[in-house]
Amino acid sequence: MLAMNYRGPFRVRAQQKPMPEIEHPEDVIVKVERACICGSDLHIYHGLVPDTRVGTTFGHEFIGEVVEKGADVNKLKIGDRILVPFNISCGRCAFCKQGLYSNCHESNPEATAAGGIFGYSHTCGGFDGGQAEYARVPYAEVGPMVIPPDIHPDDAVLLTDVFPTGYQAAEMGGIKKGDTVVVFGAGPIGIMAARCAWFFGAARVIVIDRIEYRLEFARNFSHCEAYNFESLEDPVLFIKKTTGYFGADVCIDAVGCEAAGSALQWITGRVLMMQAGSATALHWAINSVKKGGIVSIVGVYGPTDNLVPIGNVVNKGITIRADQCSVKRLLPKLIHHIREGYIEPRQIISHHIPLKEVSDAYHIFSAKLDNCIKTVLIP
């Protein structure tokens, strides 16, 4: 089968690989219909996530048709079209049973801090991902769900990560009616988090980034204010001033370890790799939020350390909330929101690209060419 194949930082290609096999009685094999490139895929594409082995197939956002199933799979049938949450969750451990599906303890031998994730290095379990013609899906009756017939396939594939993660970013912010919410990052997750902040009753939503076309997209899709931090003298001071020198009620870090905006962070985090990436967005979030405010983190960071103003967290009494999204927990609510017409996630998709052109697809997304917002690969 044809599959994306990682060859090293900034190098991927489409290549024939052996078909995946049933390795556990609760596995299914799906014929992939669509697979997105996620912003967090760029961190492994750029070589920033430890234990990313050459030959890995990325892809943790995909939908497809069940073509083979294990002996213990009873509810799913051959031919079912399913959406596959990016988390691999058993549904039986203490964490899954409490809804923390991203923290499953039965899906990742290589690290205890993270649950299993499709195609996201051996640090997240060493599973091949869905940027391929076929993929193995463990615990098929726990996480995945049959795609309702009224849900568009492009919306379905965005329900595997982007929409739920953006929603959970806002949810973790504990937004109250009338709040001012600042989202750092106008990538797909930041755009979605800004859009979802309104569901919780925000009165003002501000997005900060430096890519003009993405800021313009955020203004339209997320109905928010959007500012280029390169044209602001100091984004923290700007937030303070624009909130009456009070600070934002909620700040969301939707950037993670590749944030621009600080030479010190960039050199120590990206060039010298002395910290787990550049934490500029988190730094700004902590310093922009009000005293007693909430910082919600969905940006991905590496497993070592980062330079952040932890003293200000203490002195300002800030609450930090963070997690990988528990997709399964949110699916019923988010499908409801799509059906009600509150949101049409597929509007953020800018590119459909054949899987065989995966090298170009990654470069377009990574280098932000052709006004790329979100890329979907079609096997």
Partner 1 sequence: MENTSNKYQNIPGWGVDSDPNDNPNYPIKNYNGDDHQRLDWTRPPLQPVTVEILESVEQARMPAVFGTKLPPSGVSGMLRRYAFKYDESEYGHWLNLLLADRINVVEGILHDLSHFRIPNIFAEKGMKADWKYNRKELVTKIIVATAVTTAIVFWLKKKDGKSA
Least gap, CB of 146 to partner 1 (angstroms): 21
- The window from 77-85, 170-178, 256-264, 277-285 that contacts partner 1 (CB under 8 A) reads 170-178
Q: Is 127 in the site for partner 1 (CB under 8 A)?
A: yes
- The window from 30-38, 89-97, 254-262, 285-293 that contacts partner 1 (CB under 8 A) reads 89-97
Which residue of 2, 46, 65, 110 would you call a contact of partner 1, by CB under 8 A? Answer: 110
The residues in 219-258 that bind partner 1, with binding defined as CB under 8 A, are 223, 225, 242-244
Q: Is 68 in the site for partner 1 (CB under 8 A)?
A: no
Which residue of 1, 31, 46, 50 would you call a contact of partner 1, by CB under 8 A? Answer: 50
Q: Is 100 in the site for partner 1 (CB under 8 A)?
A: yes
Q: Which is nearer to partner 1, 187 or 302 (CB)?
A: 302
Element (H, E) at 265: helix 263-266
Least gap, CB of 364 to partner 1 (angstroms): 5
Q: Which is nearer to partner 1, 79 or 102 (CB)?
A: 102
Least gap, CB of 221 to partner 1 (angstroms): 11
Q: For the chain, percent helix, then strand, then coil, each to nearest 5? A: 30, 25, 45
The residues in 188-207 that bind partner 1, with binding defined as CB under 8 A, are 198-204
For residues 110 and 122, the answer to whether their CB atoms sit within 8 Å is: yes
For residues 180 and 207, the answer to whether their CB atoms sit within 8 Å is: no
Q: Which is nearer to partner 1, 241 or 291 (CB)?
A: 241
The residues in 309-338 that bind partner 1, with binding defined as CB under 8 A, are 319, 321, 323, 326, 329, 333, 337
Place of tokens 């009165």: 203
Between β-strands 81-84 and 145-146, what pairing exists: parallel, antiparallel or unpaired?
Answer: antiparallel
Q: Is 346 in the site for partner 1 (CB under 8 A)?
A: no
User: If you write DSSP's letter for every residue of 189-204 in order, what string do you get?
Assistant: HHHHHHHHHGGGT-SE
Residues contacting residue 135 through CB under 8 Å, at least 6 positions apart: 20, 29, 30, 32, 59, 62, 64, 84, 118, 128, 129
- The window from 103-111, 213-221, 230-238, 279-287 that contacts partner 1 (CB under 8 A) reads 103-111
Residue 178 burial by Cβ neighbours in a 10 Å radius (0-12, 13-18, 19+): exposed
- Opening angle at CA 114, ends 37 and 181, nearest 5: 65
Q: Is 301 in the site for partner 1 (CB under 8 A)?
A: no
Residue 203 burial by Cβ neighbours in a 10 Å radius (0-12, 13-18, 19+): middle
Least gap, CB of 111 to partner 1 (angstroms): 5
Q: Is 342 in the site for partner 1 (CB under 8 A)?
A: yes
